[in-house]
Chain A
Amino acid sequence: MILKADEIANRLKSRKLVIAPSPCKKLEDLCSSGNASIDLRLGTWFLTLRHARLSHLELQIRSKSLVDVQHEKVTRNQQLTKLQYVRFGDEYFLHPGKFVLGITLEWLRLPANLAAYVIGKSSLGRKGLIIATATGVHPGYTGCITLELSNVGEIPVALTPGMQICQIFFHSTNESNTISTSRYDMKRIPVLGSGKIDPIVDSLSKAF
């Protein structure tokens, strides 16, 4: 079940769900909105790829052969990416066709019985800004949420830290004692991530 704003407000009030800084000045305002999502704001850190240092990105990490070890060295995050800090009040210009990882200003902590989806805002989408894609947030997630931002429009768009950038829908899940532990927990800065080894792909890679 998707939670409506008043139920989200209830969970925020009881501190079972935490979003900091708080998405609204008063929780009553949230209750009265009637929405089924709340808006999240853009944080101050951005991560782009260093194209000139990159032949390609390996999306599926395989178990380590010598070649892979070397590849891993070369494709270390820091070598491939450029981190930028944009203070409150300043702007980051995203040009047409460009892609950048941003991060929510808010730090979230989801309880074990809540999952969430992060999606874009139509007001921004109409101007070409797409907030993609890997939108699922699992129960127990803790940290800021990395945003995959791309400009599919025809003119550059100005991103301002602190602006409302996306919306989050919360879904109740069945109660469970186990919570997801994500590699992306506890992040305040967007990261590219190193991927996981998939034994199936590993086996397939030995075929023929």
Chain B
Amino acid sequence: MNTLYYAKERLVSFLDEIKQLELIEFPYTDSYNALEQINILFKFLLNQLESKKETGESLSSTTLSLLFDYLPYLGFILRSTNIRNAFEIYGPIKRLARDVLSLRKVDEQNKIYVLISSEWEYSPYVLKPDKKSIFQDFVMLGFPAPESSNPFIIPLSGHELGHLLFSKNNIINDYEDNMHKDIVKHISSNKDKVQRIYFYPPSKNSADGFDLFKLSIVNNILNYASYQIEESYCDFVGLKLFGTSYLYAFEYLLCPQPGGQRTGYYPEILLRSENLIKAAKYYNIKYPAIYNNNFRKQELSKELSEQDKFEIESADIIVSKYIEEAIQKAELIITSTGVVLSTPDQVESIYNCFERIVPAEGCKCLADLLNAGWLAMENPDFWKDNEHIYIQKEKNLQQLLLKNIEVFEYEYWTGKTL
């Protein structure tokens, strides 16, 4: 047997799997549409392979590489149909995604597809399609499976939408040049340390005696800094979109940090929480008085080399200079999208309904509901007078909140709200 045969057989099995998946129940058609996109692509590839008479090794390997790329999507699509998910959030999140990504124009309204899935990862995330992906118009959000029916973590989807905004608007371009310059300066001002930890002798050929080897260090630091500024920016987008509830959801899912050690691709967690409070003050968003108490400073792993430590610490220093700018940028972009933002009056009115154990009507935005929900959750005396409901307060609040999100959706389609 040749490799062409193997590739074809594997492709046929892949397409058979898609056929099986087509039989499941799709609560929302966007998941089915995603599956069909994959189906079309791989049927095309199979046709191409079948038209090859000889080994076609290059095409086979390209095809298989695509198969490896898209296989995880099948799992993602399958899990998006799982009954554990809070399907009520789908409509409001889809509209939010459409608004945040500025697809409000009529001709673009239907262009966005949203999948909300449950993941076997303990961190919400968004699948970011690369430029060649067939999923350019898809927003694919994943929540941790055990939490996927929990509406209280929805605010974290704001962070994930931030990633799409960041890449759609090439926001990294706003930072890269300046950060690059800062890093070069930083390295130069730490020349002795750099030479010591990288075991590098001063060059006699370059003007500053400190040449090409610097390039790889700069790139490494820039890489960490780029990730960190993106994560920070996304935090601010999430905060701006969801208000105080973002702070609570963030704390809920990230405290305490297992192990306490950090990666250089995220800002250090305590600093991250402090930056969130800084942003909350700037956005005039209410924040808990003792918010940072539950966050512990993460140390870098002792197993990291001196060089890695230097690069991450340098990225931290560089990124800290751009936090305020990122806070402002996130506000500007969200304001420009025209997304309806949470207001204290609305939150209070919904909170009052929750106190009476009923959903609120005429809500203006999802964020108001989540803010009211978190406010109730954080009040230890909430529902204390109703013992049989208080005894399972968290679970009951989840039920009420999800029902209220459905009422919000119902009112949207029946013309009772915005």
Question: Which A positions have Cβ atoms within 8 angstroms of B?
Answer: 15, 18, 20-22, 25, 43-44, 83-88, 105, 107, 109, 142-144, 162, 181, 185-189
Contacts and interface: CB of A to CB of B under 8 A. Distances in A.
B359 interface: yes
B392 to A, nearest CB: 8
B416 interface: yes
13 contacts: A20-B358, A20-B404, A21-B414, A43-B406, A83-B83, A85-B27, A85-B83, A107-B359, A109-B358, A144-B403, A162-B410, A186-B399, A186-B400
Contacts of B90: 87
Contact of A187 (B88, B399, B407, B411): B399
A18 B399 contact: no
Given A20-B407, A107-B403, A144-B403, A25 B416 contact: yes
Interface of B: 25, 27-28, 83, 87-88, 90, 356-361, 388-389, 392, 395-396, 399-400, 402-404, 406-407, 409-411, 413-414, 416
A111 to B, nearest CB: 11
A171 B27 CA distance: 38
Given A44-B406, A185-B388, A142 B357 contact: yes
Contacts of A107: 358-359, 400, 403, 407
A28 to B, nearest CB: 16
A67 B122 CA distance: 39
Contact of A18 (B358, B388, B414): B358
A99 to B, nearest CB: 19
A188 B403 contact: yes
A109 B416 contact: no
A44 B358 CA distance: 18
Given A21-B407, A21-B410, A186-B399, A84 B356 contact: no
B83 A20 contact: no
A87 B87 contact: yes
Contact of A85 (B87, B399, B407): B87
Contacts of B406: 43-44, 105, 188
Contact of A44 (B87, B356, B392, B400): B87
Given A15-B356, A18-B356, A185-B389, A105 B399 contact: no
Contacts of A15: 356
Contacts of B357: 109, 142, 186
A188 to B, nearest CB: 4
Contacts of A109: 356-358
Contacts of B358: 18, 20, 107, 109, 142
Chain A to chain B: the 8 pairs with minimum beta-carbon distance, closest first: A181-B388, A18-B358, A188-B403, A20-B359, A186-B396, A85-B87, A85-B27, A21-B407
A21 B413 CA distance: 12
Given A85-B83, A87-B27, A189-B399, 10 more contacts: A20-B360, A22-B361, A85-B87, A88-B409, A88-B410, A105-B406, A107-B403, A185-B389, A186-B400, A188-B406
A15 B352 CA distance: 12
A40 to B, nearest CB: 13
Contacts of B411: 21
Nearest to A43: B406
